[in-house]
Structure 1
Amino acid sequence: MEVLKIGDRSLLYPIIQGGMGVGISLSSLAAHVAGNGGMGIISTAQIGFRDDDFYKNPIPANLRAVKTELDKARALAAQVFEKFKDSNRAAKFLDKLKDYVPFIGFNIMVATNKYADYVIEAVKAGADIIISGAGLPIDLPELVQKGQEISGNEKKTCIAPIVSSRKSAKVILKMWDRKYKTTADAVVIEGPLAGGHLGFSYDELHELGADTMASKNYKRDKYDAEIKEIIEEVRIYEEKFGKKIPVFVAGGIYTKEDIAHAMSLGADGVQMGTRFVTTYECDAPDDYKQTYIDAKEEDIVITKSPVGMPGRAIRNDFMDRLKEGPVPIRHCCNCLATSVCDRKTIPYCITEALCCAANSDESHALLFCGANAYRAKKIEHVADIMNELTENI
């Protein structure tokens, strides 16, 4: 098989591990996916939440953690990759592995307060790629360029927007072309079965049958048509810029069959988050992983995030408590831009709820997940999942 090119980098397998915050995809998970030939992604969402200074100075703590987590991931991925090279799976790549370096980057939400600072810090740290959504990353090319100028890095950090419609893809790619005379190195299409914040309205989710019991109600053909439209839009810019722009489909990708279906639509690969949560190597605490294993499909519901977007999570005591009224905010970490988070009216603090999930305080936790979380039956090793997903690819 051909190694997939993204910018001037190579990816052995067309699988991106989705960025999951807070504290779910940090250095360990990213390193093991990258070391096994996929793309490892670290989420910057409150990435420094374990720092002793986090609650006093959250943004500086987070910015410090960007480099710390990437450095840890690089070192661990190199060790994992050495084991991968000795495996039977590596045989087909032996002639291409000499100069291969595991692919590791960041997911940075546009809605993040001080978004520009996070992007620049990630570039300075040496990220291979920045994947960005939860808003339109219009200024991402300029910020990456600024980060490279500050750091003096010769290696270019690739950029990839997350989109959910042809309209959003067109807006971003057209703006990057007009304003910066550049285009994406990759595009991630995040569909309505994804976990966490979703790029769809409640009505759109209902219309697609993606709000409840998605395995029975989801109108896959309808969104498949949108995926094809987005790919068609991306191909316009491929032709204009004379370069390959790989497209990755995300949301509801759990099995090898799901990957095959996405690629049958014209995608070059997939992004998967939920499948990697229930691994030994995932950065989430064990009880967080167990909630996925214990969840039934009816436990996976759509909830309203404080930022006004729908989100997918596992129903628990915290979500039931929200039905009674707002949960008082104990401490504001200024995690989101004021334009998307009105601290006077939000029903709860998204950072507090997600930090509680990462700190095993389930009674106060928001447990984000994808639509297929109920399919998890056991804790697995990342290497075994990658072996299963890439067999015969």
Structure 2
Amino acid sequence: MKVLNIGDLSIKLPIIQGGMGIGISMSKLAAAVANEGGVGVIAAVGIGMFEKDYARDFIEANIRALKREIQTAKEKTNGIIGVNIMVALTNFSDMVKTAISEKVDIIFSGAGLPMNLPEFLTKGSKTKLVPIVSSGRAAEILCKKWKQLYDYLPDAFVVEGPKAGGHLGFKREQLDNPDFALEKLVPEVVSHVKPFEEKYNKNIPVIAAGGIYTGSDIKKIMDLGASGVQMGTRFVTTDECDASRAFKQTYIDSKEEDMEIIQSPVGLPGRAIRNEFIEKINRGEKKPVKCPYKCLKTCNFEKTPYCIFAALMSAMKGNFNGGYAFAGSNAFRSSKIISVKETFDSIIREFKEAVSVK
């Protein structure tokens, strides 16, 4: 595998661990991935829900929690640490400002186009800005707007395909459409970004995400022009993943037919592992709940049948009566819980085997 360069950051292995919320990828997983030469990523979404004063002081609880997780990760590694911050968060600006003030290496931002992300950079800041997009057109729009408004170009792009876990940036009918497959999206984004690289003499690597599970998958997508990959699902069933053992076990126990596309309360399709909680939703048995704070801009909490944040946090803790697990399309391939180091060793071995096949 080639080294991935994002600005002046040199990433030994071109593997970025996906930012998985709520509480799935925190400092423990991120530091372990960074120690193996990849990019460890902390998910900012709902990070304050673990604080006692979350309902009373939503803003401060999230800021405090993010600061602590970044600092804890940095104490455990000298590697590269990123933060995933969804544009759809109502506290998006506070999370971005906090990540930059804590000198995080990279901010990954999707669930909407982060049109104003560069405005939060402070003088002397070295934090890299990497939008997550689902089309070449979106990448081009961001390049144009950022250059026009801030004289700044994205340091890289993550292009996320329809096989990813969690909320998806596609319409439901696009998920199985070959025209929106990751294998088509990667060359498309690369071609839209290339003119900006050439005009402004700046390297803007494209990182592929969604459905990438093995080293062979990495080789295939890099042969199509990706400079690196983002992987989430593969790292869930590791010792260091911050989720409960019960959460990890639901991946191991799942079958391919259990991977279900649901309609999230936030108005987007999402991929999850089917369980009784989801079945109750489908039967219309869940009722709206009170919301202590409007966490997501797109959530109509007065009409939604359940709180997506509460459901994901319950699952993370192993309570599947109150929630469900988001998962990528390959979650059913998980067979056992191993260390992050063993996971990297396996991925590298798979990659080398794929390279040797002629």
TM-score range, shorter chain: over 0.9
CA contact (8 A) 1:66 1:125 kept: no
Q: Does 1:349 align with 2:307?
A: yes
* Counterpart secondary structure, 1:104: strand
Aligned to 1:386: 344
Alpha-carbon distance between aligned partners in 1 of 2:280 and 2:265, rounded to the nearest angstrom: 15
Aligned to 2:25: 25
**Aligned amino acid, residue 89 of structure 2:** T
State the Cα distance separating 1:361 from its structure 2 match: 1.4
Give matches, 1:299-338, under 5 Å: 299-325=258-284, 326-337=286-297
Dislocated runs of 4+, deviation >4 Å = none
Flag the 1:272–1:223 CA change in 2: closer, same or farther, 3 A: closer
CA contact (8 A) 1:248 1:268 kept: yes
Q: Does 1:43 align with 2:43?
A: yes
RMSD: 1.6
* Counterpart secondary structure, 2:175: helix
* Counterpart secondary structure, 1:169: helix
Q: Does 1:272 align with 2:272?
A: no
Aligned to 1:14: 14
2:103 to 111, 118, 126: 126
Alpha-carbon distance between aligned partners in 2 of 1:288 and 1:103, rounded to the nearest angstrom: 26
1:180 to 138, 143, 150: 150
Aligned to 1:282: 241
* Counterpart secondary structure, 1:377: coil
Alpha-carbon distance between aligned partners in 2 of 1:305 and 1:42, rounded to the nearest angstrom: 22
Give matches, 1:153-192, under 5 Å: 154-192=124-162
Alpha-carbon distance between aligned partners in 1 of 2:290 and 2:326, rounded to the nearest angstrom: 21
Alpha-carbon distance between aligned partners in 1 of 2:26 and 2:114, rounded to the nearest angstrom: 22
Give matches, 1:248-263, under 5 Å: 248-263=207-222
1:196 to 166, 189, 192: 166
**Aligned amino acid, residue 238 of structure 1:** E
Deviations 1:266-287 (A, max 9, x none): 1101000000000000000000
Aligned to 1:75: 75
Flag the 1:206–1:262 CA change in 2: closer, same or farther, 3 A: closer
1:103 to 66, 75, 80: 80
Alpha-carbon distance between aligned partners in 2 of 1:201 and 1:332, rounded to the nearest angstrom: 29
Deviations 1:236-293 (A, max 9, x none): 2211221211111000010000000110101101000000000000000000000000
Flag the 1:206–1:9 CA change in 2: closer, same or farther, 3 A: closer
Aligned to 1:139: 116
Alpha-carbon distance between aligned partners in 1 of 2:73 and 2:110, rounded to the nearest angstrom: 22
Give TM-score, length-normalised by structure 2: 0.94
Aligned to 1:55: 55
Give TM-score, length-normalised by structure 1: 0.86
* Counterpart secondary structure, 1:262: helix
State the Cα distance separating 1:330 from its structure 2 match: 4.5
Alpha-carbon distance between aligned partners in 1 of 2:314 and 2:85, rounded to the nearest angstrom: 21
CA contact (8 A) 1:312 1:371 kept: yes
CA contact (8 A) 2:27 2:70 kept: yes
Alpha-carbon distance between aligned partners in 1 of 2:4 and 2:215, rounded to the nearest angstrom: 18
State the Cα distance separating 1:225 from its structure 2 match: 2.4
Aligned to 2:191: 232
Alpha-carbon distance between aligned partners in 2 of 1:104 and 1:172, rounded to the nearest angstrom: 23
State the Cα distance separating 1:48 from its structure 2 match: 2.0
State the Cα distance separating 1:388 from its structure 2 match: 2.1
Aligned to 1:81: none
Query: Gapped runs of 5+ residues in structure 1?
Result: 78-100, 209-218
Aligned to 1:117: 94
Aligned to 2:332: 374
State the Cα distance separating 1:328 from its structure 2 match: 2.8
Deviations 1:176-231 (A, max 9, x none): 111111111111010000000001001111434xxxxxxxxxx88x5422321111
State the Cα distance separating 1:390 from its structure 2 match: 2.6
Alpha-carbon distance between aligned partners in 2 of 1:365 and 1:45, rounded to the nearest angstrom: 16
CA contact (8 A) 1:4 1:13 kept: yes
Query: Gapped runs of 5+ residues in structure 2?
Result: none
Alpha-carbon distance between aligned partners in 1 of 2:237 and 2:293, rounded to the nearest angstrom: 28
